[in-house]
Structure 1
Amino acid sequence: MSSQLSSHQTVTRSPEGESTAARIRGAVGSLVPGLTLCAAATALAMGIGRFLPTVSPLLIAIVLGAALSNVARLPERVRPGLQFSAKKLLRVGIALLGLQLMLSDIVGLGWGVIVMVVAIVCLGIVGTMFAGKLLGLSWTQRMLIACGFSICGAAAVAAADSVVDADEEEVVTAVALVVIFGTLMIPTIPLLSGILGLSDTSAGLWAGGSIHEVAQVVAAGGAIGGAALGVAAVVKLARVLMLAPVMAVLSVRQRRLAGAGANVKRPPLIPLFVLAFLACVGLRSSGLLPADILANTRIAQTALLTAAMFALGAGVQIATIRKVGSRPFILAAMSTVWVMSIAFVGVSLAG
């Protein structure tokens, strides 16, 4: 009799357990349509990128997402998967971005260039925030644009959003501005470098210090010349490394604003994805990872960020961009010129 009771207890599950399992299956199932759409868009963007190596799959994905959302009405069932990609997959992609950074390469730039990079990020953010305040923009909108234009483009915009929790309209506006103004910088820096008579090395320093996205820097550096490309990429990655301390400072600010009440949700002192990013930087700098693993993780990082950029692009509505008015565009133009000017002064002093 006892064995029968034992057997019965083994195969019977509580209604609460079944409910939990059902909720988990439902939550996972709700992500599938959106994740499938992101996967298809990622494959397409990376495929196009193979034929157009000077164009980043991330930028292609943003354009694809924006085009799709404005041409056709996306069904509601894809929304959960898109939101998951724009937040969770993005953070994993940013963490893996650390595997592209070798601390020895950055130290090899010399202290003068390192100080220049810190000045570009810090003064770029402060100047953009000040100009945005004069224009009457919200603190979160200013911060998203400041981080995107001073650090590393759309990835920095999304990283800042994960800390300051901006409105979706502000996020998609900042991402759209990064794409527009960063793309305009690709021919502008090589052209101005030629007019000013800069050497390839100086032009590469200027490109890496002033252009928003890593891929945009690579495109501009390649247009200048081989010597410029290597320098530009390392300087840009040094700016990417500044993502960690900036996000930590923002997180500390948000914790202070949140207060210390029992029912107040406070952000972590240092976001988990920032710690993961720093761990990846340390792992890459240790030299322990074989080349084939680094190559595979680079592909994975590109795919994750491409999926996240498509999801962010899918939130870009032309009507929304029109609604925000001209002030964010004016701030983006001012920030671009400001960061470019700081970088040029730094290059002149370094030279």
Structure 2
Amino acid sequence: MASANPETLSFVERHMERARELFPGIMVAIMVAVAAKFLSEHYATPAMLLALLLGIAISFLGEEGKAVQGVAFSARTLLRLGVALLGVRVSMTLMMGLGWDLIALVVGGVLATIAFGLAVARFFGHKWRFAFLTAGSVAICGASAAMAISAILPKDERSEERLIFTVLGVTVLSTIAMIAYPILVRALGMNDVAGGVFLGGTIHDVAQVVGAGFSISEQTGDTATLVKLFRVAMLAPIVLVASLLIRRFAEADVDGERPPILPGFVIGFLVLAGASSFGLIPPVIADFMSQASRWLLLVAIAAVGMKTNLKQVLSVGGAAIALIIVETLFIAGVILGGMTFLT
């Protein structure tokens, strides 16, 4: 009987050893995500917010011990995989049903909000990294966009603080908007379609958009979800363009590295979005991948929380809170103004 190739054995052994190193941290992050999901379903609180807070509560596990490497892997690699799988939820064919006027309004709102954030950040005492992180998350898709954008920004000693603060901020504001915006829609006398466009074009996270839309009517919920997914579809091109600009003009990471020209998770997002748009992914598989994306992002944000020093995060200060609020109000004003002009 032929013996196994020593090189093959060495390869397998290395990966088995790596898996053993990562296992404790990944399992802890998964358990935190499951707990967050359970609490979310029973107490009507965003799962992302709960996963982050629960992760912060046990952050000592991400600082030392056997879980450190697995937590770091979850916060980086599982995060990027989750963002890539978001692409399966995008169908450009379906979104073209919005009409060119609404598409232009949504695209304009996203781009204007990012430009606005970059322009006003200095008045709040912040530089372009935090401005792009917050404005991009407000403009596109909340916590998911924050994590994707953070992955391409040059790293420094405060990178994770800015990410955690942004995720907390946009998730809380998105939850407030989920409650307040439907009241505003009714007060302004918007019809179901107009209300859906406003909700989908302004609320940060997909889950809160769905909750707000269907609290009014089924048509409002469907429209809001479609508009929101169009904003999600803008994640890849914006991250791609930003990555190219950062690589060309920004300073390198503290370790001297620069982000890749085209991050792998952006390629994955684009490939899956294209396949979804052309109907190449069977519905059962698409649904599975969509659910996997949600869980991967939930596990990743739990791991990010476990790597966080809450005292340092809170030191970001009131000006940062004001910046996110102003950006949130800005995109609401742009979408509302645009709808008034179009109608």
So what's the TM-score if we normalise by structure 2?
Answer: 0.89
- 1:225-273 per-residue CA deviation (whole Å, 9 max, x = no partner) reads 211111111111101111111111111112213699xx96443222111
Contact 2:178 2:211 in 1 (8 A): yes
The corresponding residue for 1:121 is 110
Q: Secondary structure at the match of 2:215?
A: helix
Q: CA deviation at 1:188?
A: 1.4
CA distance in 1, matches of 2:15, 2:282: 37
Matches within 5 A, 1:1-351: 24-51=15-42, 55-69=45-59, 75-166=64-155, 167-257=159-249, 265-351=257-343
CA distance in 1, matches of 2:5, 2:341: 75
Distance 1:43 1:337, change over 3 A: same
Larger Rg: 1
The RMSD of aligned alpha carbons is 2.6
Q: CA deviation at 1:57?
A: 3.2
Sequence identity (%): 32
Q: CA deviation at 1:180?
A: 1.6
CA distance in 2, matches of 1:65, 1:297: 24
Contact 2:88 2:273 in 1 (8 A): yes
Q: CA deviation at 1:347?
A: 2.1
CA distance in 1, matches of 2:4, 2:24: 33
Q: CA deviation at 1:212?
A: 0.7
Gaps of 5+ in 1: 1-6
Deviates more, 1:218-227 or 1:325-334: 218-227
Distance 1:122 1:12, change over 3 A: closer
So what's the TM-score if we normalise by structure 1?
Answer: 0.87
Q: CA deviation at 1:47?
A: 3.5
Paired residues, number: 336
Gaps of 5+ in 2: none
Deviates more, 1:325-334 or 1:283-292: 283-292
Q: Aligned AA for 2:30?
A: A
Contact 1:258 1:264 in 2 (8 A): no
Contact 1:173 1:316 in 2 (8 A): no
Distance 1:44 1:11, change over 3 A: closer
CA distance in 1, matches of 2:126, 2:161: 13
